[in-house]
């Protein structure tokens, strides 16, 4: 069975030889994995692990292929910081000992006291800043693999331009500003996907299978915002993009970390097809319960814990958990097994190797 056929059959709850799998890790962990195995990344992913997606870059949150940025050159500064597409300033920050690098925003283009006029007059990105045809060569090169195209976040991108704390305050006391920023970003996202799907429409129904939307609605022990905020400020915008994707015959994967289970009915309401990453280490995110409660309406992606399991467990514990997830989340299809976020530096590589070996063993490969 090809990777593409396996993906389509699994999501359609039809017969499959095994569940489609993916890989997602930081560059630092990937480097340690290459050293551990003495192999390059392509050999590891496509020969040893036999994953079912082709990656656009190094495998860090790279399941979705994004169009190339061709907009104005972004400012860079002597201290190594730079301006992002929203006009905010970012730099590379480390968790500890110059390891665990992530790009973080620390100066916000629309931070502090602003008016709706400031929002309207801000230099927002434009749809023309992306080359939507840039992913087509990848589609042609790998016709037997499924492709998820595009990546957009409404809440997270709002935080990138305004700041998370300030955005949360706006929901309560500056709703016109909150609505103005949200609408700007959502409108741009809609046009982005409209142009992208037109660019790849000849491959839809072939190996273009889904689009990707992301916003983290969960913390470790509950929602980051109330369901009322979801329905008022976000749901109509998400639904507009989801309806667009569905009109092209595509599925929609939605990424939301944390304890997001309470909001799963809301995601179903707006038409989400696949929930990612099923962070099983968060409160209430019990795999077999989630499958039983929502499995008729949602498929799931992820689930293999990167907070406690992969960094700290024995190889047997990893194997047992993978078997449990395949048996429960994977029952009758509708599940794409893989890490519940990027695998972090310091995770024992042997645990990750065991994760994929356990998948092979479960399906008798």
The confidence score (pLDDT) of residue 189 equals 98
The confidence score (pLDDT) of residue 63 equals 73
In 10 A of CB 243, how many CB atoms?
13
Helices (H) and strands (E) counted in the chain, each on its own, are: 15, 12
pTM for the complete prediction?
0.96
Radius of gyration of the chain (CA): 20
> How high does pLDDT run on average in the chain?
95
- pLDDT per position as a tens digit, 294-351: 999 999 999 999 999 999 999 999 999 999 999 999 999 999 999 999 999 999 999 9
The overall longest dimension of the chain from CA atoms, in Å, is 62
The confidence score (pLDDT) of residue 293 equals 98
Find the mean pLDDT for residues 31-45. Answer: 96
Find the mean pLDDT for residues 281-304. Answer: 98
The confidence score (pLDDT) of residue 96 equals 73
Find the mean pLDDT for residues 43-53. Answer: 96
> Is the separation of the CB atoms in 173 and 85 below 8 Å?
no
Q: How far apart are CA 271 and CA 278, in angstroms?
A: 18
Over 70: is that where the pLDDT of 61 sits? no
Residue 259 CA to its chain's centroid (Å): 16
Over 90: is that where the pLDDT of 106 sits? yes
- pLDDT per position as a tens digit, 178-197: 999 999 999 999 999 999 99
Q: How confident is the model at residue 152 (pLDDT cuts 50, 70, 90)?
A: very high
Topology at the third CATH level for domain 3-67+124-362: TIM Barrel (3.20.20)
Closest CA to 294 of 268, 319, 313: 268
> Is the separation of the CB atoms in 217 and 275 below 8 Å?
no
Going from N- to C-terminal start, the domains of the chain cover 3-67+124-362
Segment holding 190, helix H or strand E = helix 175-199
The confidence score (pLDDT) of residue 95 equals 79
Q: How confident is the model at residue 62 (pLDDT cuts 50, 70, 90)?
A: low
Q: How far apart are CA 187 and CA 150, in angstroms?
A: 15
The DSSP output letter for 203 is G
Question: What's the N-to-C CA distance of the chain in angstroms?
Answer: 13
The confidence score (pLDDT) of residue 60 equals 54
Find the mean pLDDT for residues 74-97. Answer: 92
Over 80: is that where the pLDDT of 365 sits? no
Q: How far apart are CA 236 and CA 259, in angstroms?
A: 22
Q: How far apart are CA 106 and CA 61, in angstroms?
A: 22
Over 80: is that where the pLDDT of 59 sits? no
Find the mean pLDDT for residues 49-68. Answer: 82
């Amino acid at each position: 069975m090809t990777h593409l056929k396996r993906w389509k059959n699994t999501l359609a709850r039809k017969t499959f030889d095994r569940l489609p799998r993916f890989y997602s890790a930081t560059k630092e962990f990937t480097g340690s994995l290459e050293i551990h195995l003495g192999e390059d990344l392509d050999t590891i992913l496509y020969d040893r692990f036999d994953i079912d997606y082709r990656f656009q870059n190094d495998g860090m949150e790279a399941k979705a292929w994004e169009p190339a940025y061709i907009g104005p050159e972004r400012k860079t500064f002597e201290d190594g910081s730079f301006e992002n597409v929203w006009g905010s300033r970012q730099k590379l920050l480390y968790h500890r000992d110059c390891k665990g690098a992530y790009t973080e925003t620390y100066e916000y283009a629309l931070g502090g006291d602003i008016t709706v006029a400031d929002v309207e007059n801000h230099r927002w990105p434009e749809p023309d800043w992306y080359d939507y045809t840039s992913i087509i060569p990848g589609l042609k090169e790998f016709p037997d693999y499924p492709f998820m195209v595009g990546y957009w976040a409404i809440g997270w991108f709002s935080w990138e331009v305004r700041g998370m704390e300030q955005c949360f305050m706006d929901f309560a006391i500056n709703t016109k500003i909150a609505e103005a920023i949200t609408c700007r970003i959502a409108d741009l996202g809609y046009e982005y996907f409209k142009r992208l799907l037109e660019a790849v429409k000849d491959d839809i129904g072939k190996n273009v299978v889904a689009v990707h939307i992301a916003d983290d609605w969960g913390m470790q022990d509950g929602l980051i915002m109330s369901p009322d905020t979801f329905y008022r400020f976000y749901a109509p915008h998400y639904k507009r993009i989801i309806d667009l994707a569905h009109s092209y015959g595509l599925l929609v994967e939605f990424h939301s970390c944390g304890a997001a289970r309470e909001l799963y009915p809301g995601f179903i309401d707006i038409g989400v097809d696949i929930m990612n990453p099923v962070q099983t280490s968060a409160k209430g995110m019990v795999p077999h319960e989630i499958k039983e409660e929502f499995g008729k309406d949602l498929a799931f992606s992820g689930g293999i814990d990167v907070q406690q399991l992969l960094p700290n467990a024995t190889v047997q514990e990893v194997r047992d958990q993978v078997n449990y997830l395949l048996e429960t989340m994977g029952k009758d299809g509708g599940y794409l097994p893989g890490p519940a976020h990027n695998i972090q530096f310091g995770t024992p590589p042997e645990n990750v190797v065991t994760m994929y070996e356990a998948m092979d063993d479960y399906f008798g490969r």
